[in-house]
Structure 1
Amino acid sequence: MISSVSRRALYGLATSSRFESLVKATGYTEDLAYRAAKRYVAGRTLDETVETVRRLAESGFGVCLDLFGEGNDDEEGVRRVVAGYEEAAAALSGTGGDVYLEIVPSNLGLDLGVDVCRRHVERLVELLPTGSRLEVSAEESWRTPRIMDLTLALAGDGAPLVATVQANLKRSPADVERLLEAGVPVRLVKGAYLETSEVAHPWGEPTDTAYLHLAHQVHAGGAGLVLATHDPVIREALLAAVPSAAVEMLLGVREDDARALVTRGHTVRIYAPYGQSWFRYWMRRVAEAQGT
């Protein structure tokens, strides 16, 4: 049934609190949905998540761990998110894995103000083990200016960051220049949000072309480059030109490709989100699989 629903409609369902409530109305329907979502989710509980991280580390992958959530505009809620990351950092300390933490800025109070979010993110920076980094996620274009301000402010304080740039956004070349000046590594994604033509390139060839140009811009500027795409044509073309680039892939997507890249000697990090708010993330993955 899902395969007959358009990508735009699925994105609408992914952001519908009413639809999520209907699915989670009974244990049966929620468990049914989670069985389908599980391939993309590191775990609903921290114990499940730690086991997933161990499995990925044993297979030669780095991990980017993200606690589900977005649009958190309540200070107490933000503090709970920080506490969740603290608990995760403590639990992961004995795994021996190469684990980064990922943050969604709006889950840490961005909508309350850049300074509010920055204060909470600085606490997470303190939790990072030696050699780890904090990956700053991209969100909708209307939040992008504040995310850039947050990222550059943290970088100015010496925080070990990886910024995320969406190739479909028309503003991205200018954002890359600012990140290059600050020496911030860039994780390049195509862009997962439905945006208007005023701010974004159409999905398909225009976004693919933008992705290639931005990757070369980052490399020419001397910053670290992370190719966060499952498009094998684009990925292989860029790895041939920039063999030092790392690769990031989503948990549960093109797993054979990820293993092959590790075998070939490439650095591959798996984005592994976890927590109770898994439903909207899963719906977005389903939407992306439907194309335009």
Structure 2
Amino acid sequence: MIASLARRALYALATSTELESVVRAVPPVQDLALSQARRYVAGTTLDEALVTVRRLVGDGLAVSLDLFGEGAADEEALAATVDGYREAAAALADVGGDVYLEIVPSHLGLDLGLDVCRRHVEQLVEFLPAGSRLEISAEEAERTPHIMDLTIALAEAGAPVLATVQANLRRSPGDVDRLLAAGVPVRLVKGAYLEAADIAHRWGDETGVAFVRLAHRIHAGGTPPLLATHDRVLLEALLEALPGAGVEMLLGVREDDARELAGRGVPVRVYAPYGDSWFRYWMRRVAEAQGA
């Protein structure tokens, strides 16, 4: 109960514009916060992030590179975001290794309309190196229906997309079936947002059970899932039961486990976000640690 309350309090802080403004306004405080966040952040610039990506690739790991941000509210902000993603996509060609580009739909205009977001996302596909994919991030439950529509529309148009499904959402079995019918591979996560009880399973065992059931459902559909969790017991059980399944882990979290799994021949991908908007992401990682 105490951990759950602490997690909720930290999530509230993670989404607090006021707190972020206070931290960012005082350079020594900002520097201290960034020093704590560094383990989870590939860099504050693309050049810094590419150094991290090359290190991970050198360790035999696949990578998903993501530019921080969410909730773009106007076309001017969108233009800058698209330029940033496009620069990142183009840079992947020089990295080598198995590197995807992760995108956050609301960062690319989803809240302004599905067509707006799709138009911007389609621009990025042209810059992806051969063999790479667009890994589409999950967001709050209220955005999930639009994200599913976007993902399937892109796949039907031939875009190389990888969907994200949140195990804690009660709607997810239906989303999995829809994605599998469209031939879209799935990354399965437990779910990083606090949602109402009628929308989502409770954090903990209830979500863990939903995760296992969905992993089996995805595998039975003919596409090995990408299991995004650091729960080693859960991972080992699922990897044994689901041949071909891969793993995705967060930068800065149990990297020794990632290298050990990769050394055993398990496909392991590391999520490596970068950019100046690191504060909320870091606070979410701290909050999640309370529910581990």
Query: Is the structural similarity TM-score above 0.5?
Result: yes
Q: What's 1:111 paired with?
A: 111
Match in the other structure for 2:158: 158
CA shift digits 1:53-87 (9 cap, x unpaired)? 11011000111000000011211111111100122
Q: Deviations over 1:5-40 (max 9, x none)?
A: 811111011111110011111221111000000000
Give the Cα separation in 2 of the matches to 1:195 and 1:242.
29
Q: Secondary structure at the match of 1:66?
A: strand
CA contact (8 A) 1:53 1:97 kept: no
Q: How many residues align?
A: 290
| CA deviation vs aligned residue, 1:182-230 (integer Å, no higher than 9, x gap) | 0000000000000010100001111111001100100001124100011
Residue 122 of structure 1 is matched in structure 2 by: 122
Match of 2:185 in 1: 185
Quick one: which amino acid aligns to residue 30 of structure 2? E
Letter in 2 for 1:107: H
Q: Which runs of 5+ in 1 are unaligned?
A: none
Q: Report SS of the residue matched to 1:128.
A: coil
Contact 2:4 2:291 in 1 (8 A): no
Instruction: Write the distance in 1 (CA, Å) between the matches of 2:59 and 2:214.
Output: 30
Which residues in structure 2 correspond to 1:245-284 (within 5 Å)?
A: 245-284=245-284
Structure 1 counterpart of 2:176, one-letter code: V
Partner residue of 1:240?
A: 240
**Counterpart AA for 2:102:** E
Contact residue 250 and residue 271 of structure 2 kept, 8 A: yes
What do residues 156-201 of structure 1 show as CA deviations (whole Å, max 9, x unaligned)?
1011111000000000000000001000000000000000101000
1:75 aligns with 2:83: no
Amino acid at match of 2:107: N
What CA distance in whole angstroms lies between the structure 2 residues aligned with 1:106 and 1:86? Answer: 16
For 1:226, the equivalent position in structure 2 comes to: 226
Distance 1:217 1:17 in 2: 39
Please give the per-residue CA displacement for 1:96-155, whole angstroms capped at 9, x wherever unaligned.
131100011000000000010000000111111100100010000000000011011101
SS in 2 for 1:272: strand
**Residues 1:10 and 2:14 are matched in the alignment:** no
Q: Which amino acid aligns with 1:161?
A: V
Whole-angstrom CA distance in 1 between matches of 2:95 and 2:66: 17
Once residues 5 and 224 of structure 2 are traced to their aligned partners in structure 1, the CA distance between those partners, rounded to angstroms, is: 38
Q: Distance in 2 between matches of 1:163 and 1:4?
A: 28
What is the identity, as a one-letter code, of the residue corresponding to 2:134? L
Matched residue of 1:63: which SS? strand
Check if 1:20 corresponds to 2:20.
yes
Report the secondary structure of 2:158's partner residue. Answer: coil
Point out 4+ residue stretches in structure 1 off by more than 3 angstroms. Answer: none
More off after superposition, 175-184 vs 224-233: 224-233
Task: Indicate yes or no: 2:194 matched with 1:194.
Answer: yes
CA distance 1:4–1:198, shift in 2 (3 Å):
closer
So what's the TM-score if we normalise by structure 1? 0.97
- Residue 101 of structure 1 corresponds to 101
**Greater shift in the superposed pair: 190-199 or 223-232:** 223-232
The secondary structure found in structure 2 opposite 1:127 is coil
Q: 2:260 is aligned with what amino acid?
A: A
Contact kept, 8 Å, 2:90 with 2:129, in 1: the verdict is no
- Counterpart of 1:176 in structure 2 is 176
- Counterpart residue type for residue 59 of structure 1: D
8 Å contact kept, 2:229–2:235: yes
Q: CA RMSD in A?
A: 1.3
State the match for 2:61 in structure 1. Answer: 61
Following superposition, the deviation at residue 89 of structure 1 comes to 2.6
Aligned-residue offset at 1:93: 2.3
Distance 1:163 1:199 in 2: 20
Q: CA deviation at 1:4?
A: 12
**1: CA distance between counterparts of 2:89 and 2:146?**
26
What residue number does 2:131 align with?
131
Q: Which residue of 2 aligns with 1:291?
A: 291
AA matched with 2:195? E
Distance 1:26 1:4, change over 3 A: farther
1:86 is the counterpart of 2:86: yes
| Structure 2: gaps spanning 5 or more residues | none
Report percent identity of matched pairs: 69
